[in-house]
Amino acid sequence: MCGILFTTSNKTSEFIQCFDTLSNRGPDESNVIFHDNFTMGHTRLAIVNPASNSQPIKHGEWRLVFNGEIYNNMDANTILINLDKYGPLETPKHLDGVFAYVLYNVSTNEFYAARDAIGVVPLYTGFTGKHRWFASELKALKFCEEVKIVKPGFIYSSKQRAFKKFTSDYPIPTMSTHLLITTKNILTMAVKKRLPTVPWGVFLSGGLDSSIIAGILTTIKLPKEYPTIHTFTIGLEGSPDVEMARKQSAFIGKRCDTIHHEYTYTVQEGIDLLEQTIYAIETYDVTTVRASVPQLMLAAIIKKHGIKVMLSGEGSDELFGGYLYNKFAPTPLALHEECVRKMNDLHYYDCCRTNKTCASVGIECRVPFLDKAFVHYAMSINPTYKMSDKMMEKQVLREAFQDVLHPNIYNRTKAQFSDAVGSKWIDGLKNYAEKKYKNLNHEYTYQPPQTKEALMYRDIFHGCFPIGEKTCKYEHNTVACSSSTAHGWSKFESDPSARSIGT
């Protein structure tokens, strides 16, 4: 991933101070355009055509800064091709990929800013006086009086002075034939198109989703430049994830050349990383913080191996109703509506975690389950086939990819990432917060923290981003990442973990 920054202000020193905060997102190159009416900059992590493709890009009267991956044509020029063909407001509809970008016309002084439909790539906006800003991360808007998150699937038009939704609603879920074959074909294609020609690897948690991604790689042609599958996992000593990832790596190692990298950490090492993690991910959501600490730790290790791109399994649980609480869904329609809610909010949680933990150390993370075609397909499946009240969650996925899964993983039920790395991690965080605070007194009126652990994360966040609290989403009335609506399906204990549900 790269970093982008744009403003209608021409205050050079102010811009540079903000721009410097994005250096980790693009360690290979940085460039800025200074203009009387705007300033835009780009920090680059060179993945596609490393020797070229510098930004900002000049295209006739247009100037472009872009972050993400476009799979129509593998680079930012696809945006410009569609710009010429469809115009600025229609362009994002025709992009197959994940993105955040800003376009500026030097003749008309109009500009446009867009974010992909799922929100895989972050984008924020703010104001300093009358000047508008857009940035890849919250920390780059340090001088803004007001900051907001740009909602996924929206484009801003300075001409209309408004955000406009460019995405359609999810399809009516009726598909019920050829599910296994179609699931396998579309997801395999999504993995294929995300394989780079730079050093790459796979986050292998030992759960179903990342194991499927690793398994698919054994069935397709790998890049000739880097044909070995490097898998990475992390957990506390003796954690379930570490054991299961080891088994899956050995299983796929019988089919192709693999190297498995396994790391452990201690609770104290994780606690010591809390402030750095929250600064990186820019959120105070409890589950996201819990899971981000070990992922940030692992990302830093992966960077030392020279890896530039990682594949990961985010999005599967939201698309297929994979969280344990979903077995209490009263009807297929209720489950589908919960999947829609979870997909709409995914940018606050797993997309935020995965993108920013990796970007903070100069790694790009790619998520095949959130491929445009696969998302459309998965959300069109009749939700009857996603119900887990009488069968294991994500049964369609299990059966479609059974041949590339270790039997123990095929039969493994869902675990929260932050729990699966080792339950002592969660207990350690709660105990640390209990010792840190004598009571829950605080002055937060927006999404007020309901536990000492949540208060601890909020305090750290507020110290880093005093005006950014409304760019995050935190709910206490949840269990195992449920929405507050789904929390009413049964008598759940409010807890981000899945422990109160059991198996």
Identify the three-state secondary structure at position 69: strand
* 114 phi/psi in degrees, rounded to 5: -135, 155
Pairing of strands 200-203, 146-149: unpaired
Tell me the C-alpha distance between 23 and 50, whole Å: 17
* 460 phi/psi in degrees, rounded to 5: -65, -45
Check if 2 is active-site: yes
Return the structure tokens found at 394.
Answer: 């994500």
For residue 244, CA distances in Å to 10, 247, 265 come to 53, 5, 17
Give 347: exposed, middle or buried? Use CB within 10 Å, 0-12, 13-18, 19+: buried
Output DSSP code: residue 170: P
Identify the three-state secondary structure at position 352: helix
DSSP 276-325: HHHHHH----HHHHHHHHHHHHHHHHHHHTT--EEE--TTHHHHHT-SGG
- Cβ–Cβ < 8 Å for 157, 89: yes
Element (H, E) at 213: helix 208-217
Q: Which of 2, 339, 351, 358 is catalytic?
A: 2
Task: Give residue for tokens 């070995």.
Answer: 228
Spell out the residues 6+ positions from residue 329 whose beta carbon is closer than 8 angstroms to its own.
Answer: 321, 335, 338, 387, 389, 486, 489
- Cβ–Cβ < 8 Å for 220, 232: no
* Residues catalogued as catalytic: 2
